[in-house]
Amino acid sequence: MQKKLPIDYTIVFILGCLFVISLLAIYSGSGQYAFDDPTYFIKRQLVFIVLGFIVMMVVAMFDFELLEKWTWLFYIAGLGLLALVEVIGIERNGSQRWIDLKVTEIQPSEFMKIFLVLHIAMILSKIGKYRLDFKESLFVFMKIMVYMTIPLYLIWRQPDLGTTLMILFSVAALLLISSLSLKLLGILTGIGLTGMGTLVYLFMYRRDILDEFVAPHQMARIYGWLDPETYSRGFGYQLQQALLGIGSGQLSGSGYREGYQVQSGHIPEAHTDFIFAVIGEEFGFIGTSILVVLFFLLIYRIITIALQANSLFGMYICVGVISLLTFQVFQNIGMTIGLMPITGLALPFVSYGGSALLTNMMAIGLVTSVHLRTKSYMFGNDEDE
C-alpha cells in the first residue's frame, strides 16, 4: 500500500496560489534593490519556498502529541537564540534582530513565537476542558506570564514592537478559549481595555508622560500613521507613497511592472513589508481582493481543523496558528492602507524573507499534523476525560 504524503491538499493549493502571487510581486517590487541580477530575490525566495515545504512535511510527519513533552526544550532553545541576538546580532535600520549565519540570516523572534505558542498550548491542555475556579486559574495565568515575560522582554529590547504585539495577541486568544475562570478572563479583559484607553488618553492629552516610556522613533511612527501628509518627509513617507500606489491601482491595476510608485522606487521595502502596495498598484482592487480571499480560505481551513480536533493540545495549536496568521495579515495590510501603525511585520507567505516563511510553514506543518491524526468516532470524541 502506497504511503500518502503528510500534507493537506486544500492548504497546499492555497499556499501554492499565495506563492505564485508572492513571486510575481517580489520580482516586480525588488527591481530597485537587484542591481546586477533582477531575478536575485525571486531565486532566493524559491529556495525558501522549497525549504518551507520540506519543513512543513517534516513537522507534519511527527505526531504532534509527542511534541507536548518537548515544548520546554523548544522554549529554552528560543530563549538561547534571543540571547545570542544580544551578543552577536547584526543591526539594521535601528533594530538588532538578526543572526548572521554567513549563508543566510535568521530572525530568532520568528522562531520564538512558534515555540512560545507550543509551550502555552501544552500548559493549557494539561488543565483539561472543565472550567477552573478563580484561584486555580490565577495560578495557571501567573505561570504563563512568567514564561511569556522573558522572551517578550528580549524581543522588545531589539526593538521589535510588531512581534511583541503578535505574541500578546496570540496568548490572549489562547487564554480566551481556555478553561480558565470566566471571572479571571473578565478581569483580564477589563485590564486590557483600560490599558488601551489609558494609552489613547496619554497620547491625546499627556504626551509628555508617554514620551518617557516610548522611544522617539516609535512616537514618530505614530505621528506618521495618524497624519502622513504632515510627516510626508519623515515617518509618514512610506504610508503616503503606499496609499498613492494602491489608490492609483483602482479596479484592475496599472499593469504588471507598470506601477509608477513601485517601479520608481518611491515605496521603500516594496518586496518585503510593503508588498501589498505592489499588488494593489499593479493588480488593483481585483488583485488585492483575491489575495484577501486566499488568506480567508486558509484561516477558515485551519479553523475547521481546530473544530474537528479530538485533542485539546491539537486544538490549542491550531488556535495559536490562527491568531499568529490573522494578526500578521491584519497588521501588514492595515499598516499599508493606514488602518494600523507601521511595525515592520511581513505579509505571511507573500513578503520576501526566509525566517518568517520557514516559521509560518512550520506552523502549517503543526496544523497538518493535527489534521492527519484527528479521528472521527461514531459516538463522539475520544478525549472527553
- The pLDDT of 67-83, averaged and rounded, is 91
Percent helix, percent strand, percent coil in the chain, to nearest 5: 65, 5, 30
Cβ(351)–Cβ(272) below 8 Å: yes
Instruction: Say if residue 136 is exposed, middle or buried (CB neighbours under 10 Å; 0-12, 13-18, 19+).
Output: middle
Say yes or no to pLDDT of 5 above 70: no
* Closest to 112 measured CA to CA, from 60, 64, 76, 157: 76
> CA–CA separation, 316 vs 125, rounded Å?
7
Say yes or no to pLDDT of 43 above 70: yes
- The pLDDT of 187-201, averaged and rounded, is 89
What per-residue confidence (pLDDT) applies to 377? 52
CA end-to-end span of the chain: 35
Residue with the bigger pLDDT between 343 and 285: it is 285
Say yes or no to pLDDT of 379 above 60: no
Residue in the block written with cell 515555540: 115
> CA–CA separation, 261 vs 282, rounded Å?
10
Grid cell in block for residue 349: 507567505
Q: Which of 80-84, 140-144, 229-233, 338-342 has the lowest mean pLDDT?
A: 229-233
- The pLDDT of 329-343, averaged and rounded, is 89
What per-residue confidence (pLDDT) applies to 1? 38
Residue with the bigger pLDDT between 116 and 29: it is 116
- The pLDDT of 71-84, averaged and rounded, is 92
DSSP, collapsed to helix, strand or coil, labels residue 206 as: coil
Cβ(131)–Cβ(182) below 8 Å: yes
Share of the chain above pLDDT 90, in %: 50
Confidence bin at 385 (pLDDT 50/70/90): very low
What per-residue confidence (pLDDT) applies to 384? 45
DSSP character at residue 127: T
What are the structural domain ranges in the chain? 9-372
What per-residue confidence (pLDDT) applies to 339? 87
Q: Which of 46-50, 84-88, 187-191 has the lowest mean pLDDT?
A: 84-88
Mean pLDDT score of the chain, rounded to an integer? 87
What per-residue confidence (pLDDT) applies to 219? 72
Q: Which of 161-175, 201-215, 318-332 has the lowest mean pLDDT?
A: 201-215
